[in-house]
Structure 1
Amino acid sequence: MHHKTLEIIRNVVGGIGNAISIFLFASPVTTFIGIYKKKSVEKFKPDPYLATTLNCMLWIFYGLPFVHPNSILVLTTNSVGLAIELVYLIIFFTFTDKKGRLKVAAWIAVEIVFMCIVAACTLTIFHSTTKRSNVVGILCVIFGMIMYISPLTIMGRVIKTKSVSTCRFISR
């Protein structure tokens, strides 16, 4: 195939992937509408949203031109995802108790410090985009797995209580 044709196909498939990803980020919106209406987080946990926030931050860093050139689709999708996750966390923070607020604030602080360390190490140790994108890409895959595993914390509550009635399931 001609180079331009491959480029068009890549952009179309990437655009479809972006749209699907944004729908996945938006999937818990009904959960957060319910939290807002009830003015309570009930038994909901912030774990999946905290994990997704870190995952988005890592992918945004990966998509920057000095880490991995020509990654505009990665950059845009995860920027939208990060904005959505931050809205979820703000709603959670607003309607949870003091212990929940402390947990969210502490984890966000840890995630920001972690990102600063990743950025500083990546930019000072690795001097080519190939090396940077490999290292950051591996981190993205690892933390992507954590993001998809994090809803299993809810399963821990089900096993511990031996009941699904004490848990509200979060779509992710």
Structure 2
Amino acid sequence: MDGISPFASSTPWVLSDENIRVMRFVVGILGNAASLLLYTAPILTFKRVIEKKSTQDFSCIPYIATLLNCLVYTWYGLPVVSHQWENLPVVTINGVGVLFEISFVLIYFWFSSTRERNIFCLIMLPAIIMFCSGMIVLTFALHDRHYRKAIVGGIGLLLSITMYGSPLVAVKQVIQTESVEFMPFYLSFFSFLTSSLWMAYGLLGHDLLLASPNLLGCPLGILQLLLYFNL
């Protein structure tokens, strides 16, 4: 025996870059699945809106915020902002989200009262104009892709905060009425699940612009779930 431990030559277990890429891809797929469930969660709500031909005091803010969030992150994931197709899962699911949210906001607008339509237009029209203007300016006037990514990611961060914070409008209604009718369980649950997975996706790729907004989404999702089960 030479006195050397048989474990002396073993190397610490670490994840290789390839393993991290595979993990990130898998988490991205799971994030896509969870996000799809999140986007489809309001279907039952809007089915009821159609049946009753009324928005029943539901707020349009969460759906407008989610639409804008999906638009920005679809743009963020495209090669014009990100490096090649490194964020393909972000593009695919947010592109699908855009289609769902457009459907929801159109249904909301169609069945809303005159007052609700006025509020809807005051929020929606300026937001879409600002998004389109910003996309044109940043795409054609800012040629440094790294700065462009940082700015688009920053806009996405602000919109994500708005999106995750918008259910607080419903939380206020829930507390006032002591009823969870205006805060569907599946919307709260899938919001928490989605934010958790995309936070992991961003951290695995060292992309704080993707991870940061979901750090807020997780506790807000937990808050909604706790409120749901305590009423």
Stretch of structure 1 that moved more, 7-16 or 77-86: 7-16
| Cα distance in 2 for residues equivalent to 1:30 and 1:86 | 16
Contact 1:157 1:167 (8 Å CA) reproduced? no
Contact 2:138 2:148 (8 Å CA) reproduced? yes
Structure 1 residue aligned with 2:122? 106
Aligned pair partner of 1:59 in 73, 91, 99: 73
Q: CA RMSD in A?
A: 2.3
Deviation at 1:166, TM superposition (A): 10
User: What whole-Å deviation, never above 9, does each CA across 1:59-107 have from its counterpart, x for those lacking one?
Assistant: 1111121111312211111111111111111111111112222322332
User: For residue 111 of structure 2, what is the amino acid of its counterpart?
Assistant: F
TM-score norm. by structure 1 comes to 0.86
| Greater relative contact order, per chain length (Cα 8 Å cut-off, separation 6+) | 1
Structure 2 residue aligned with 1:130? 146
Contact 1:154 1:167 (8 Å CA) reproduced? no
Deviation at 1:20, TM superposition (A): 0.8
Between the aligned residues of both structures, percent identity stands at: 31
User: For residue 29 of structure 1, what is the amino acid of its counterpart?
Assistant: I
Structure 2 residue aligned with 1:141? 157
User: What whole-Å deviation, never above 9, does each CA across 1:99-156 have from its counterpart, x for those lacking one?
Assistant: 2223223322212111122213322443222111111111111110110101112344
1:22-101 aligned at under 5 Å gives the runs 22-69=36-83, 70=85, 71-101=87-117
Structure 2 residue aligned with 1:19? 33
| Cα distance in 2 for residues equivalent to 1:144 and 1:2 | 31
Deviation at 1:10, TM superposition (A): 2.7
1:152-163 aligned at under 5 Å gives the runs 152-157=168-173, 162-163=176-177
Matched positions, count? 170
Tell me, which stretches of 5 or more residues in structure 1 are unaligned?
none
Structure 1 residue aligned with 2:216? none
User: For residue 71 of structure 2, what is the amino acid of its counterpart?
Assistant: M
TM-score norm. by structure 2 comes to 0.66
Contact 1:25 1:85 (8 Å CA) reproduced? yes
Tell me, which stretches of 5 or more residues in structure 2 are unaligned?
1-14, 189-231
Deviation at 1:168, TM superposition (A): 2.6
